[in-house]
Amino acid sequence: MRIVNLIWKEFIQLRRNVLLSFFVLLIPMFEFALMTKATGREIKDIPVAVLDLERSTASREFIKLVDETHRLKVSFYPQSQEELEELISRGKAILGLIIPQGFGAEVHDIYAILDGSFVTPASLGLSGLYEAIEAFSSSRLREAGLKVKGGIKLESRILFNPTYDVRHFTLPAMVGFIVYQITIAIASISLVRERELGTIEQLMVSPLRREEIILGKGVVAFLVGFVNFWLLLFLATKVYGVPFRGSPALLGAITALFLAVESGWGLALSTLARNPQQAILFVFIQVMVDVAFSGFIVPIKNLPLYLRVIAFFTPLQHYLFIIRSIMLKGAGFFALWPRILALIILGAGMLTVASVNLRRSLE
């Protein structure tokens, strides 16, 4: 019963600051909506600058094919190579295409300049260019009345996300990121703040047991994260149309486990910090390292072994894998059990460390 009162006290504290409770529930949703809007569904219309030195029907046909590829958009027609390079250096065009004189007759080369300072769009643009070249070559062959003989064609079926919708990949990750950060931020600052304000002493001399004080704080961080999780999940699936193919109960249970671990960990960070400023720094470091290892920027399976070993110790990485697999692939417990087990083992370890740390710090 006492613990319920204590949790209630935490909520009263949260509610007293109307602004804070507003932030805690509405800002994540608002931000999520904004980021979704700005992410877009796919990477398309990468700007291309074309310098056509040939100006023939063939070259115009080729430029049209480039523009027709899904990924590229011919946006500029510079008149000289300097002008083309200028467009690239200013970041207006990611790709510059030079069609030499004699193109389509005796010359079979095309020159491209890429903006290597921005790798993802540059390499995607390059693949779009190959697509256009392929289309051009086969249409030429057709025109020449030559039938392509032999050869092998690859027909691909992109499973789970057939339209390459980038949102299907990033939105589940964003849900995970946001609830993770909220939980760890609220947990990590709660204890250290009471200590700084001197109210922790008041709690200590009250009849409450130490475990109860900590549990109360942990539960609040957990609940804020968990409520946010369902709100964001609702937005992602109902408003932004990310499919949910798996079991909501399974995802809910795993999320609960994950957030419990993170709030315990946040409280432990709180004991390491001497003041809230240090707490935010710890959270900052923790969050950035976790993001790096989360598989969002670089897929974990592409990392060398020792980094994969380190990545194993970040719960966020397992959680993001699980949330994506459940939502997009409809993966069930049997497909995911190694990850779930990893999360449980890690969580148990982290909570043990955290509770030892917390007990020591309160004595």
Partner 1 sequence: MSLRRLKAILLKELKHIARDIRTILLVIISPSFLLLIMSSIFGLEVKNVNFAVMDLDRTELSRQFVQKIAATEGYRYRGEVWSYDKAYELLRSGSLDVVLVIGPGFTSQVNRGEEETIQALVDGMDPIEAIGTFYDLQAMVRAYGQEIATSSLLPSRSLQLLYRARYNPSLESRTSLIPGLMAIVLTLPAMALALSLSKEWETGTFEALVASPVKGVEYLMGKLLSYLGIGFISAFLTLGVAIFWFNIPFKGSLADFLLFCLIFFLASMGVGLFIGQSVKNQQATMFITLIYFIVPSFFIAGLVLPLREESPIDVIASYALCTTHFIKANRGIMLKGLGIAQLMEPALMLILIGLISIILGFASFRKRLG
Closest to 266 measured CA to CA, from 338, 201, 349, 184:
184
To the nearest whole angstrom, how small is the minimum distance from the Cβ of residue 126 to partner 1?
7
The neighbouring-strand residues paired with 224 are none
Looking at beta carbons only, is 266 or 315 nearer to partner 1? 266
Looking at beta carbons only, is 35 or 257 nearer to partner 1? 35
215 neighbors 3 (Cβ within 8 angstroms): yes
Looking at beta carbons only, is 337 or 348 nearer to partner 1? 337
To the nearest whole angstrom, how small is the minimum distance from the Cβ of residue 16 to partner 1?
10
- Rounded distance between C-alpha atoms, residue 319 and residue 234, angstroms: 18
To the nearest whole angstrom, how small is the minimum distance from the Cβ of residue 1 to partner 1?
27
- Rounded distance between C-alpha atoms, residue 309 and residue 300, angstroms: 10
Looking at beta carbons only, is 186 or 268 nearer to partner 1? 186
Looking at beta carbons only, is 35 or 250 nearer to partner 1? 35
Looking at beta carbons only, is 309 or 348 nearer to partner 1? 309
If you count them, how many residues does the chain have? 363
Which 3 state secondary structure label does DSSP give 340? helix
Closest to 7 measured CA to CA, from 298, 253, 212:
212
Q: What are phi and psi of 209, to 5 degrees?
A: -85, 155
- Rounded distance between C-alpha atoms, residue 268 and residue 299, angstroms: 29
To the nearest whole angstrom, how small is the minimum distance from the Cβ of residue 207 to partner 1?
26
- Rounded distance between C-alpha atoms, residue 221 and residue 27, angstroms: 16
To the nearest whole angstrom, how small is the minimum distance from the Cβ of residue 255 to partner 1?
18
To the nearest whole angstrom, how small is the minimum distance from the Cβ of residue 3 to partner 1?
21
